[in-house]
């Protein structure tokens, strides 16, 4: 296969000239192609087969120990004007960035095969889907992209018809962290990533395209590209509400997206549309409709078990690529919180010794096709997506943020989103457990200046009364002993029910300075072993703490200077004065 699209052929030729691969392979996405790549990687040791009896067609990939997570400090947004990238991004002048990274790409694919991967983000016949081509020298990337995107012949046909696509160039390079860069050129619709084979750094359709580049395009075109799961909640009467939730990395999106209703909730059903990214478009009625641009899940493995996430746990027993998990002595994958078996070899291939830390890397991941999910929504392939009733922000907060609260209006909701803070996790290189600002869970993923992004969010409020309501949740509030106050996982349905009841005007709320909170008793705790005192603690608002929080948010927002939208400052000022009145 080659292509009749001249712009694509010219780009591929130019890349081959620069990188000097031994072969060029155009991927068609077929089973035969996948089987051949898997066989080659079994041979090279890039993919190790797992116990075929209990884990048929499952493989383990061990990445380089220095290459296990996203690298935000090496991720750049390269716009002509530095202010367009904003203080939320690392920036480099496009010409300098190209020069720097092209020098690394020069000759980088010698004696390797260069794969050309045509892919589609979104249902292949959706007007909201977008095309891309990733060039890579990593067969691991090819087999992952096949699970995570609509990859191959059908995507190529649409690319040739439309003529526009995002260009992504990737090489694993020599994995030297000093020669690693993830660069984005939104004005050119292109991405260049060198020196990492890991997840979000290398599977360019995901964070690089579907969030950083897409957020830039979305702003120009009047839609939103967000780090959100999409879930359908069906009540016993058969009515389904769709909710999109933005939580930072490793803060519970995959788990919520495929939640299993607890025993106490007979007749309730949960349908997964997406677990990481949502593209939201306003429709003719002024509602927001969401599609999931992805076709698979690249999920956090540790903590996944039959209790916490049975859908994921079942799904990853076949046709799954595991990255950086441990293995048992009968070659089954193993991870902390699996609750069955015990590790014999750790994620680095060493005999397991607890002195070396966890057996599976805390950011070990599974890659699996979304179609394997028992809760996969029949609307996951709907070209126009689903109408969204509620948008929910959240993060990991030991204290302060209540279990759930509701924004007073759209602009206040935008402030709540802009104010998201969360304890850092293993999904990105760096210290874990430090609270940092992560507006809309997009700190690592927004391809332009946050001030402009908030203005874009605020612009949706104009003349529109069909917008979703906005909420904030926190599953991670702890007591003084460090124990989670809320059981989480399947029980989170109880909170989603309150959210839906609010959307349907079926339940009242308690107005506070920070937003509307449930009355104790309006969160259904039937059959739940939780005391009234704990619920009170979960739904409390400490005015003094919130005053400090709002002061810190105010300082943070000021760092965006003149570009900060006035309406955001105003709504911040209103919360501050309401807190003052309440104190
Ligand atoms: P990314 O793929 O990095 O974007 O992460 P994610 O937001 O999809 O997070 P995920 O659902 O994979 O959860 C990450 C970790 O949080 C896992 O270890 C989960 O077990 C844990 N977790 C998820 N939901 C809950 C919850 O409701 N309560 C508690 N206590 N932990 C949770
Ligand atoms: C995240 O870190 O938010 C992920 C995993 O979803 S990665 O694809 O590596 O970005
Ligand atoms: Mn994510």
Q: pTM of the predicted model, to two decimals? A: 0.98
In the three-class reduction of DSSP (H, G, I as helix; E, B as strand; rest coil), residue 169 is classed as strand
The pair phi, psi for residue 381, each rounded to 5°, is: -100, 5
**What is the chain's pLDDT, residue by residue, as a tens digit (583 residues)?**
689 999 999 999 999 999 999 999 999 999 999 999 999 999 999 999 999 999 999 999 999 999 999 999 999 999 999 999 999 999 999 999 999 999 999 999 999 999 999 999 999 999 999 999 999 999 999 999 999 999 999 999 999 999 999 999 999 999 999 999 999 999 999 999 999 999 999 999 999 999 999 999 999 999 999 999 999 999 999 999 999 999 999 999 999 999 999 999 999 999 999 999 999 999 998 899 999 999 999 999 999 999 999 999 999 999 999 999 999 999 999 999 999 999 999 999 999 999 999 999 999 999 999 999 999 999 999 999 999 999 999 999 999 999 999 999 999 999 999 999 999 999 999 999 999 999 999 999 999 999 999 999 999 997 667 999 999 999 999 999 999 999 999 999 999 999 999 999 999 999 999 999 999 999 999 999 999 999 999 999 999 999 999 999 999 999 999 999 999 999 999 999 999 999 9
CA–centroid distance, 26 to ligand 3, in Å, is: 28
Judge residue 263's burial from the number of C-beta atoms within 10 Å of its C-beta, 0-12 exposed, 13-18 middle, 19 or more buried: exposed
Closest CA to ligand 1's atom 11: 252
Q: Which of 63, 134, 170, 200 to mutate to test the pocket of ligand 2 (most atoms within 8 A of CB)?
A: 200
Task: Decide if 185 contacts 97 (C-beta within 8 A).
Answer: yes
Nearest CA to ligand 2 atom 4: 249
263 HSE (CA, 13 A, CB side): 4
Q: 369 and 224 in contact (C-beta within 8 Å)?
A: no
Q: Which ligand is nearest to the CA of 209?
A: 2
Task: Enumerate the β-bridge partners of residue 24.
Answer: 114
Q: Which of 301, 300, 328, 347 is nearest to 53 (CA)?
A: 328
Q: What is the structure's pLDDT at 1?
A: 65
Q: Evaluate whether 119 touches 206 at the Cβ level (below 8 Å).
A: no
Q: Is 246 exposed, middle or buried (0-12, 13-18, 19+ CB in 10 A)?
A: buried
**What is the number of the ligand 1 atom nearest to the C-alpha of 308?**
20
Any ligand 1 atom below 6 A from CB of 364: no
300 Cα: distance to centroid of ligand 1 (angstroms): 7
List, as ranges, residues with CB under 5 A of the ion ligand 3.
Answer: 249, 276
448 is written with which tokens? Answer: 């332009």
pLDDT (0 to 100) of residue 403: 98
Residue 476 Cα: closest atom of ligand 1: 30
Q: Is 488 left (phi over 0), alpha (psi -120 to 50) or beta?
A: left
Residue 525's φ and ψ, nearest 5 degrees, are: -110, 15
What atom of ligand 1 comes closest to residue 248's alpha carbon? 7
Q: Which 8-state DSSP code applies to residue 327?
A: E
- In the DSSP assignment, the letter for residue 315 is H
497 CA from centroid of ligand 2 (Å):
28
- How close is the Cα of 508 to the center of ligand 2, in Å? 37
Ligand 2 is surrounded, with C-beta below 6 A, by 70, 199-200, 206-207, 249, 276, 298, 427
Distance 2 CA to ligand 3 centre (A): 33
**CB 247 less than 6 A from any atom of ligand 1:** yes
pLDDT at 260: 97
- Helix or strand holding residue 118 (H, E): strand 113-121
- The token duo for 188 is 């050119």
Paired with 478 in beta bridges are 484
Nearest residue by C-alpha to atom 32 in ligand 1: 252
Structural contact between residues 428 and 249, judged by C-beta atoms closer than 8 angstroms: yes
Three-state DSSP class for residue 388: strand
Give CA–CA dist 554/550, Å, rounded: 6
Q: Are 182 and 73 in contact (CB under 8 A)?
A: no
CA dihedral 547, 550, 556, 562 (to 10 degrees): -120
Q: Tokens 């302060």 sit at which residue?
A: 400
Judge if the beta carbon of residue 488 lies within 6 A of ligand 1.
yes
Is the minimum distance from the CB of 200 to ligand 1 under 6 angstroms? no
Which stretches does DSSP call E strand in 172-260?
181-185, 190-194, 224-226, 228-234, 240-246
For atom 7 of ligand 2, which residue has the closest CA? 200
252 lines ligand 1 (CB under 6 A): yes
Phi (first) and psi of residue 428, to 5 degrees: -125, 150
Q: Spell 380-401 as b/e; 16+ CB within 10 A means b.
A: bbeeebbebbbbbbbbbbbebb
Whole-number Å distance, alpha carbon 193 to ligand 1 midpoint, is 27
Atom of ligand 2 nearest to the CA of 428: 2
| DSSP reduced 3-state for 284 | coil
Q: Per the residue annotation, which of 58, 78, 120, 251 is the catalytic one? A: 251
**What pLDDT does 462 receive?**
72
| Spatial separation of the C-alpha atoms in residues 8 and 1, rounded to whole Å | 13
Beta carbons within 8 Å of 562's beta carbon, 6+ residues apart? none
Residue of 393, 375, 301, 300 lying closest to 343 (CA atoms):
301
Distance CA 205, CA 151 (A): 10
Q: What is residue 114's predicted lDDT score, i.e. its pLDDT?
A: 98
69 CA from centroid of ligand 2 (Å): 8
251 is catalytic: yes
Q: Is the minimum distance from the CB of 496 to ligand 1 under 6 angstroms?
A: no
Which residue minimizes the CA distance to atom 10 of ligand 1? 252
Q: Cβ(303) to ligand 1 under 6 A?
A: yes
Ligand 1 centre from 92 Cα, in Å? 33
Question: CA dist 309 to 253, 300, 372, 403, Å?
Answer: 11, 11, 14, 20
Residue among 523, 295, 265 nearest 406 (CA): 523
How far, in Å, CA of 547 to CA of 408, rounded?
Answer: 18
HSE-up of residue 577 (Cα within 13 Å, Cβ side): 6
């Amino acid at each position: 296969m080659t292509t009749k699209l001249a712009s694509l052929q010219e780009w591929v030729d130019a890349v081959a000239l620069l990188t000097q691969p031994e072969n060029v392979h155009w991927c068609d996405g077929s089973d035969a192609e996948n089987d051949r790549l898997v066989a080659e990687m079994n041979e090279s040791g890039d993919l190790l087969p797992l116990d075929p009896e209990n884990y048929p067609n499952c493989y383990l990939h061990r990445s380089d120990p220095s290459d296990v997570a996203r690298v935000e400090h090496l991720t750049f947004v390269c716009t002509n004007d530095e202010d367009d990238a904003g203080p939320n991004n690392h920036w480099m002048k496009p010409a300098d960035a190209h020069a720097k990274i092209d020098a690394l790409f020069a000759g980088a694919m010698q004696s390797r095969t260069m794969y050309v991967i045509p892919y589609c983000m979104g249902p292949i016949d959706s007007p909201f889907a977008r095309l891309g081509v990733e060039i890579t020298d990593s067969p691991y990337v090819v087999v992952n992209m096949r699970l995570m995107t609509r990859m191959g012949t059908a995507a190529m046909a649409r690319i040739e018809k439309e003529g526009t696509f995002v260009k992504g160039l990737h090489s694993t390079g020599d994995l030297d962290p000093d020669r690693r860069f993830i660069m984005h050129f939104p004005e050119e619709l292109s991405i260049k990533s060198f020196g990492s084979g890991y997840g979000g750094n290398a599977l360019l359709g995901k964070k690089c395209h579907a969030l950083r580049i897409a957020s830039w395009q979305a702003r120009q075109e009047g839609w939103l590209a967000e780090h959100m799961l999409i879930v359908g909640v069906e009540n016993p009467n058969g009515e389904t509400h769709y909710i999109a939730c933005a939580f930072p990395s490793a803060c519970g999106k995959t788990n919520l997206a495929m939640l299993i209703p607890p025993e106490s909730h007979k007749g309730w059903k949960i349908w997964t549309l997406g677990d990481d990214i949502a593209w939201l478009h306003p429709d003719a009625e002024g509602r927001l409709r969401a599609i999931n641009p992805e076709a698979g899940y690249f999920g956090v493995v540790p903590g996944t078990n039959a209790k916490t996430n049975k859908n994921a746990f079942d799904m990853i027993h076949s046709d799954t690529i595991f990255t950086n998990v441990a293995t048992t002595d009968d070659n089954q994958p193993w991870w902390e919180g699996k609750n069955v078996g015990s590790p014999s070899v750790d994620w680095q291939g060493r005999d397991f010794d607890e002195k070396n830390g966890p057996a599976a890397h805390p950011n070990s991941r599974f890659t699996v096709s979304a179609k394997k999910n028992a809760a996969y929504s029949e609307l996951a392939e709907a070209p126009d997506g689903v109408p969204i009733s509620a948008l929910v922000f959240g993060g990991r907060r030991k204290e302060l943020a209540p279990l759930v609260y509701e924004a007073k209006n759209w602009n206040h909701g935008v402030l709540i989103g802009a104010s998201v803070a969360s304890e850092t996790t293993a999904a990105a290189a760096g210290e874990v457990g430090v609270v940092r600002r992560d507006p809309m869970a997009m700190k690592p993923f927004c391809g332009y200046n946050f001030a402009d992004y908030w203005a874009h969010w605020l612009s949706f409020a104009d003349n529109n009364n069909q917008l979703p309501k906005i909420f904030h949740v926190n599953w991670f509030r702890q007591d003084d002993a460090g124990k989670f106050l809320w059981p989480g996982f399947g029980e989170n349905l109880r909170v989603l029910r309150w959210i839906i009841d609010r959307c349907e005007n079926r339940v009242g709320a308690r107005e506070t300075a920070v937003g509307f909170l449930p009355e104790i008793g309006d969160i259904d705790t039937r059959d739940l072993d939780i005391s009234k005192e704990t619920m009170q603690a979960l739904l409390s608002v400490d005015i003094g703490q919130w005053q400090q929080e709002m002061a810190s948010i105010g300082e943070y927002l000021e760092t965006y200077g003149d570009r900060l939208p006035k309406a955001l400052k105003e709504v911040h000022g209103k919360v501050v004065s309401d807190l003052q009145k309440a104190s």
